[in-house]
Amino acid sequence: MIYGPRILYKTELKEDLRFLIEQRGLKQSDLSDIAPQGLISNILAGQRFISKGLANKLAQRVFR
């Protein structure tokens, strides 16, 4: 599968995360080894921010 370029800095981080999850065929529950599903849900709903530590863990998981 080929992914086109995506400009991440012009969108909200929650939308970027949602895009990456969908493009890689992941589910929120697939990220439960990184963060509780409730936290992931809150981030995608815009109720919580992504911390630097969580961002690093997500990057390692989503971009592998």
21 token code pair: 């999850």
Please name which of 40, 38, 50, 61 lies closest in space to residue 13, comparing C-alpha atoms.
Answer: 50
DSSP 8-61: GGGS-HHHHHHHHHHHTT--GGGGTTTS-HHHHHHHHTTSSPPPHHHHHHHHHH
Predicted confidence (pLDDT) per residue in 4-62, tens digit: 555 555 568 888 889 988 998 999 999 999 999 999 999 999 899 889 999 899 888 87
pLDDT for position 45: 92
